[in-house]
Every structure is written in structure tokens, then in C-alpha cells.
């Protein structure tokens, strides 16, 4: 695990980061018909009919102008930067990321639209490597597979330590069947995650888990669910983190996973950061989190900024506070 921290920060300092999700910022244009001889045809038709009108670049640009005024330390982007995961979409997204900030300041995880069908690594996630991988470059050479899904499951979980916070990224995407947007966490990822969360050095940081799919079924239809969510919930009860952030549902949600009588893990979902929808809970938003140490627990403030499309501005909501009670020691088995 790399413990580098920009600006010389350490675990007792305040840390502010923003979550963006489901950007769908790319344009499909007129694709090669051979690229649509699979499930992508469904996504392309959806884009023609609806998504290219629903997700607007000006909304995302407005969000970023607002964020620039808020003294943010880091960007966490929880998937779906593209529509159907074509090579030129990955290139478009990378160009946008390069304008946003340095790769050190941005953590990206894959969404199901980014792996609409399984693809070659060199035609897809290779363009985002600097934003996906942890900062221990000595590890990067061990990932050899040219198959995108295989390599994603080799890479994750990824840790990125920033100041008092460690972002723990998990891959939940796979080439789901037609008419499904389900997710799955590979068993080998869970094994590596268990070992990671049991590391003593990790306990001094606020552990923020980034995943694209929701980890509960409270607000999620089965066709969009995490298939092994029950296994993962049991895992988290035994190997807890301090905060879970996800996207995928395109709506705001707050849930929790109970660990014991003293601790619950907040589970925060958010709507698309580029949507023009004005339906309650589905308006474009971005989330600001501030992390501070409060004696032996972590004090986490969350504030949502929501689009008012008539005024063309993002309006801040109330600040919600989560205090995560300490857990003495993580068990050593699932």
C-alpha cells in the first residue's frame, strides 16, 4: 500500500473530497456497425432515443465550476464515464480527466457502461490506467492479461492513501447478460480485500470503499443489483470499512450496513452528475465529504449540491454528519 500524501498531509488533518458518478460524458457518434453486433446495440439505441438528451456536458461543466470554488483535495468518480465502452469513448473521457486535474488527485473506478461488453484492455481501460491503479508503480507490471475483465479482477482491490483517508476501490462490473446491468465481485477480490482490511497499518486511516453497484437492495431493482450482495454484506460485517460510496442507480440514496450495536457503515448512493432530470432524487448532483478524526472515531460530513435547472446552478443542501464508532479488531476469516 502506498502511503504518499500530497502536501505532506497526515491522518489527523481534515480532508475534503468530491464524489461524481455516472457522467456519461462521451459521444458515441456514428460507430462502426461491427461494434454493435452484440449487447452494445441496446446501449446505442438507448443513447439515440434518450441518454444523449438526458446527460448533458454543460451540466457537468457547471458542476465543475462550482466545485472549483470549494477547495477540494480529491475527486472520486464511481463509474460510467462512457455509454457503451467504445475505444473512442475511453479516449474522450481521458481527455476530460486530463483537463480536470492530475491523476494523483483523481480516483476512477469502472462502471457497467464502461464494460458494456468485454473488450481488449488496450482498446479500453488502458487509457485510464493512471486514474485506476494505485500509486505503487512496482505492482503495475504484474498485470499482463489483454482481456479487460480479467485484468480488472487482477488489479482490484486498489488502495490510494490521501491524507487521513484511504480509498479502497472494488470492481463490481462484468459483461452482464442482455437486458441486465447486474454486478458481481469476484471471489479472489474478496480474498485480497480481506487481507488488506486486516493490515494493521490501514487502521489509522478512514476507510472509504468505492464501488459502482449498490451493496444493498433497498432502492435497487434486481436487474441492476449486485448479484452477490448478501455475501458481500456478510463480509463487510466481519471486515468493516467506515464509508461506502456507489453510483449506478442515478438517484440519491442513504442506507447502512449494521455491524453491531455500536457501529453502522453508511452507504451513500448518488444520482448522475450530468443529468437534466428534475424528478426528485434524480436531479444531477455531486457530493462533498469532509473527513476529520474525532477521538477514536471518524467524523464525516456530507453535503449534496443539486442542480436547479431553471436557475442553472448547483444548490447546496444540508450537511449530514456520520460518526463511525471504532472497531477493536477485524476478524481474520470471512
Domain ranges in the chain are: 6-324
Average pLDDT over residues 10-15: 72
Q: What pLDDT, on a 0 to 100 scale, did the predictor assign at position 292?
A: 95
Lowest mean pLDDT among 10-19, 63-72, 87-96, 231-240: 10-19
Q: Evaluate if residue 6 carries a pLDDT over 50.
A: no
151-193 pLDDT per residue, tens: 999 999 999 999 999 999 999 999 999 999 999 999 999 999 9
Confidence (pLDDT) at 83: 97
Averaged pLDDT, 47-67 = 96
Nearest-Å Rg of the Cα atoms of the chain is: 19
Residue 295 region, left (φ>0) first, then alpha (ψ -120 to 50), else beta? left
Report the C-alpha dihedral over residues 216, 279, 169, 226, rounded to 10 degrees.
Answer: 30
DSSP of 228-261, one letter per residue? THHHHHHHHHHS--SEEEE-SSSS-EEEEEEEET
Q: What is the mean pLDDT of the chain?
A: 91
Q: Phi-psi bin for 51: left (phi > 0), alpha (psi -120 to 50), beta?
A: alpha
pLDDT of residue 110: 98
pTM tops 0.85, yes or no: yes
- Find cell 457530493 and name the residue: 287
What confidence tier does 140 reach under pLDDT thresholds 50, 70, 90?
low
> Cell numbers at residue 45, please?
439505441
Checking if the pLDDT of 211 tops 90, the result is: yes
Q: What is the pLDDT of residue 138?
A: 57
List, for residues 218-268, the tens digit of each pLDDT value. 888 999 999 999 999 999 999 999 999 999 999 999 999 998 767 899 999
Q: How many Å apart are CA 160 and CA 33, to the nearest integer?
A: 39
CATH superfamily for domain 6-324: Metallo-dependent phosphatases (3.60.21.10)
Q: What is the pLDDT of residues 268-288, one digit of tens each?
A: 999 999 999 999 999 999 999
Q: Residue 334 pLDDT more than 70?
A: no
Amino acid at each position: 500500500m502506498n502511503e504518499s500524501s500530497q502536501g505532506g498531509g497526515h491522518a489527523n488533518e481534515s480532508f475534503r473530497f468530491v464524489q461524481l458518478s455516472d457522467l456519461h460524458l462521451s459521444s458515441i457518434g456514428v460507430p462502426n456497425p461491427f461494434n454493435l453486433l452484440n449487447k452494445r446495440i441496446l446501449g446505442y439505441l438507448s443513447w439515440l432515443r434518450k441518454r444523449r438528451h438526458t446527460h448533458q456536458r454543460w451540466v457537468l461543466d457547471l458542476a465543475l465550476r462550482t466545485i472549483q470554488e470549494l477547495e477540494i483535495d480529491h475527486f472520486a468518480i464511481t463509474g460510467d464515464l462512457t455509454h457503451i465502452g467504445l475505444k473512442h469513448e475511453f479516449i474522450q473521457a481521458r481527455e476530460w480527466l486530463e483537463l480536470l486535474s492530475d491523476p494523483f488527485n483523481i480516483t476512477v473506478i469502472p462502471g457497467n457502461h464502461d464494460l458494456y461488453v468485454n473488450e481488449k484492455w488496450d482498446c479500453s481501460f488502458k487509457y485510464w490506467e493512471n486514474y485506476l491503479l494505485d500509486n505503487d508503480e512496482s505492482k503495475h507490471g504484474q498485470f499482463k492479461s489483454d482481456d479487460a475483465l480479467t485484468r480488472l479482477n487482477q488489479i482490484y482491490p486498489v488502495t490510494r492513501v490521501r491524507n487521513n483517508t484511504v480509498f479502497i476501490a472494488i470492481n463490481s462490473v462484468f459483461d452482464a447478460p442482455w437486458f441486465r446491468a447486474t454486478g458481481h465481485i469476484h471471489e479472489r477480490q474478496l480474498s485480497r480485500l480481506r487481507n488488506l482490511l486486516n493490515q494493521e497499518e490501514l487502521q489509522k486511516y478512514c476507510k472509504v470503499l468505492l464501488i459502482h453497484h449498490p451493496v444493498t437492495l433497498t432502492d435497487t431493482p434486481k436487474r441492476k443489483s449486485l448479484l452477490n450482495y448478501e455475501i458481500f454484506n456478510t463480509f463487510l460485517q466481519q471486515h468493516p470499512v467506515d464509508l461506502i460510496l456507489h453510483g449506478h442507480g442515478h438517484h440519491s440514496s442513504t442506507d447502512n450496513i449494521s455491524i453491531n450495536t455500536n457501529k453502522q457503515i453508511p452507504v451513500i448512493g448518488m444520482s448522475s452528475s450530468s443529468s437534466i432530470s428534475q424528478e426528485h432524487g434524480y436531479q444531477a448532483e455531486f457530493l462533498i465529504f469532509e473527513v476529520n478524526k474525532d477521538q477514536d472515531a471518524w467524523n464525516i460530513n456530507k453535503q449534496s449540491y443539486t442542480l436547479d435547472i431553471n436557475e442553472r446552478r448547483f444548490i447546496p443542501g444540508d450537511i449530514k454528519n456520520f460518526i463511525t464508532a471504532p472497531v477493536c479488531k477485524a476478524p481474520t476469516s470471512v
